[in-house]
């Protein structure tokens, strides 16, 4: 698929570009309305492909949970291995700008199967929860207050750290919108023991000295929108003496880990980044 088409879809999913204008521009790039309609299924997420680890996997306990956030109740998805014999290292999973959807629930189960107690909070809980329609979810995400989001994430860290199934050490993994919030959370919550960021916006460089947790940063080489701030972020981390590892996946697009999106999913990069993520979390989250 032409990079210009992928870039257009990225602009549509991360800006105020409305669907009609997106489809009009897509038709121009594709060579007509009919061709654009054929491309749409490749560009949009197909959640029927989300279950790499089935929701009813016999080795897992996966359940809906509810707990107190900063300004009300938060809903989330919690998973861990059924055969656990002691406290588990814990991971907060921060979703993309589509909310807590089947793909993020599947990522949470993947972490659980790997031996972690994993929680994915629904950051759209104050808006009534994540809707099925991903365009509606993106609209609601844009309406969230950044300060409230980060306060809710800190409340999620507190709740996860106190779970009897966990060992009290909390890491986080964020994707896209969630990656940006993982970066921001790292500057605000010294309790975090590890932070993994998949193609997320960088935090204000002036806040970098407040980071305590080691960072693992996954950057998509073709992700011009996000990468614009990456050099300054890396320089600030170096100047502040913060422990971090940055991996660049040269031929990958934004959202390369999302295997429900045929146009942007990069299997080799996703597999390598996931292996690095598990090893990083395993290293830093055991008590």
Q: Per 3-state DSSP, what percentage of the chain is helix, strand, and coil (rounded to 5)? A: 45, 20, 35
Q: What are phi and psi of 111, to 5 degrees?
A: -65, -40
Same domain, 239 and 256: yes
Q: What is the CATH number of the domain that holds 144?
A: 3.40.50.1820
Is the distance from CB of 180 to CB of 97 less than 8 angstroms? no
Q: Give the integer Cα–Cα distance in Å for 83 and 79.
A: 12
Same domain, 277 and 184: yes
Most trustworthy range by pLDDT among 20-24, 219-223, 283-287: 219-223
**81-115 per-position pLDDT tens digit:** 999 999 999 999 999 999 999 999 999 999 999 99
* pTM: predicted TM-score of the whole model, two decimal places: 0.91
Same domain, 110 and 27: no
Structure tokens at 132: 């099925």
Same domain, 212 and 134: yes
pLDDT of 39 above 80:
no
| Domain residue limits at 22 | 1-44
**143-197 per-position pLDDT tens digit:** 999 999 999 999 999 999 999 999 999 999 999 999 999 999 999 999 999 999 9
Same domain, 103 and 84: yes
Same domain, 83 and 223: yes
Q: Which residues are catalytic?
A: 176, 223, 254
As a whole number of Å, the end-to-end CA separation of the chain is: 46
Same domain, 122 and 207: yes
Q: What is the mean pLDDT of residues 215-229?
A: 95
Q: How many domains does the chain have?
A: 2
């Amino acid at each position: 698929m032409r990079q210009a088409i992928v870039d257009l879809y990225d602009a549509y999913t991360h800006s105020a570009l409305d669907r009609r204008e997106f489809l009009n521009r897509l038709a121009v790039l594709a060579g007509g309305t009919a061709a654009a309609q054929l491309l749409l299924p490749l560009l949009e997420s197909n959640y029927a492909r989300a279950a790499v680890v089935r929701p009813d996997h016999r080795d897992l306990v996966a359940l809906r949970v509810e707990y107190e956030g900063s300004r009300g109740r938060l809903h989330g998805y919690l998973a861990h291995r059924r055969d656990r014999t002691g406290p588990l290292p814990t991971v907060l999973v921060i979703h993309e700008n589509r909310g807590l959807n089947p793909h993020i629930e599947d990522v949470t189960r993947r972490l659980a199967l790997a031996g972690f107690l994993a929680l994915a909070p629904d950051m759209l809980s104050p808006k009534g929860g994540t809707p099925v329609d991903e365009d509606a979810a993106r609209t609601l995400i844009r309406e969230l207050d950044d300060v409230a989001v980060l306060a809710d994430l800190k409340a999620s860290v507190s709740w996860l750290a106190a779970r009897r199934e966990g060992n009290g050490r909390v890491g986080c993994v964020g994707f896209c919108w969630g990656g940006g919030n993982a970066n921001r959370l790292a500057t605000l919550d010294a309790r975090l023991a590890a932070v993994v960021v998949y193609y997320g916006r960088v935090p204000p460089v002036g806040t970098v000295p407040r980071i305590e947790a080691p960072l693992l940063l996954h950057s998509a080489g073709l992700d011009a929108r996000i990468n614009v701030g990456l050099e300054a972020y890396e320089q600030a981390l170096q100047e502040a003496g913060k422990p971090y590892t940055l991996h660049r996946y040269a031929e990958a697009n934004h959202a390369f880990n999302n295997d429900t999106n045929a146009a942007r999913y990069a299997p080799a990069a996703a597999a390598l980044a996931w292996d690095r993520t598990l090893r990083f979390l395993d290293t830093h989250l055991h008590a």
